[in-house]
Structure 1
Amino acid sequence: MTSRLTSFTSGNLTFDVRDEGPLDGPVVVALHGFPQTSACWSGVIPPLVAAGHRVLAPDQRGYSPGARPSDVASYATARLAGDVLALADAAGADRFHLVGHDWGAAVGWTLAGRHADRVASFTAVSVPHPAALARALRGTQALRSWYMAAFQVPGLAERVFRARGGDVVRRLLTRSGLPDPEPSVRLLADPAAATGTVNWYRALRLPGNLRAGRTRVPTLYVWSDRDVALGRRAAEGTAAFVDGPYRFVVLAGVSHWVPEERPAELAALLLEHLAAHPSDR
Structure 2
Amino acid sequence: MRERFVECGGSGPHGVRLRVTEAGEGPLVVLLHGFPESAYSWRHQLEPLAAAGYRVIAPDQRGYGHSSHPEPVEAYSVLRLVGDVVALIADAGAENAVVVGHDWGAIVAWQLAAMRPDLVRAVAGLSVPPRPRGQRPPLEAYRALHAGRFYMNHIEKPGVADAEMARDVRRSLRLAFDGLSGENPANDPPQPLLVPDGDGLPDALGGRDVLPSWLSAADLDVFAEQFAPETGGFTGALNWYRNLDTDWPALAAFDGARLRMPALFVAGDRDTVLSGPGSAAYVASLPGRHPGMREPVILTGCGHWAQQERPAEVTAELLAFLGSLSPRESPDPAV
Q: Is the 8 A contact 2:127 2:273 kept in 1?
A: no
* Structure 1 position 215 matched with structure 2 position 215: no
SS state of the match for residue 35, structure 2?
Answer: coil
Instruction: Give the alignment partner of residue 20 of structure 1, picking from 13, 16, 23.
Output: 23
Q: List 4+ stretches of structure 1 deviating above 4 A.
A: 132-135, 209-212
CA distance in 1, matches of 2:327, 2:73: 34
**1:243 positional shift:** 2.7
Seq. identity, %: 36
2:128 is paired with a residue whose SS is: coil
Deviation larger for 119-128 or 203-212: 203-212
- How far the C-alpha of 1:214 sits from its partner, in A, is 2.7
User: Partner residue of 1:272?
Assistant: 320
Aligned-residue offset at 1:217: 1.5
Give the 3 Å change call, closer, same or farther, for CA 184–165 of structure 1 in structure 2.
closer
- CA deviation vs aligned residue, 1:193-218 (integer Å, no higher than 9, x gap): 31100000001120425555332221
SS of the aligned residue for 2:53 comes to: coil
Post-superposition offset of 1:246: 2.5
Partners of 2:56 and 2:272 in 1: how far apart? 29
Q: Separation in 1 of the partners of 2:6 and 2:36?
A: 21
Residues 126-137 of structure 1 mapped to structure 2, 5 A cutoff: 126-131=127-132
In 2, Cα distance between equivalents of 1:247 and 1:118: 23
**Corresponding residue for residue 246 of structure 1:** 294
Equivalent runs, 1:92-241 vs 2, <5 Å: 92-131=93-132, 146-164=150-168, 166-177=170-181, 179-180=214-215, 181-190=220-229, 192-208=232-248, 213-231=257-275, 233-234=278-279, 236-238=281-283, 239=286, 241=289
Kindly name which structure, 1 or 2, has the bigger radius of gyration based on alpha carbons: 2
Higher RCO structure, 1 or 2 (CA under 8 Å, sep 6+): 1
Q: Distance in 1 between matches of 2:167 and 2:173?
A: 8
The aligned residue for residue 9 of structure 1 is 7
Q: Which runs of 5+ in 1 are unaligned?
A: none
Structure holding more strand per residue: 1
Shift of 1:241: 3.7
Calculate the TM-score normalised by the size of structure 2. Answer: 0.74
Other structure's SS at 1:120 match? strand
Deviation at 1:48, TM superposition (A): 1.0
> Is 1:258 equivalent to 2:306 in the alignment?
yes
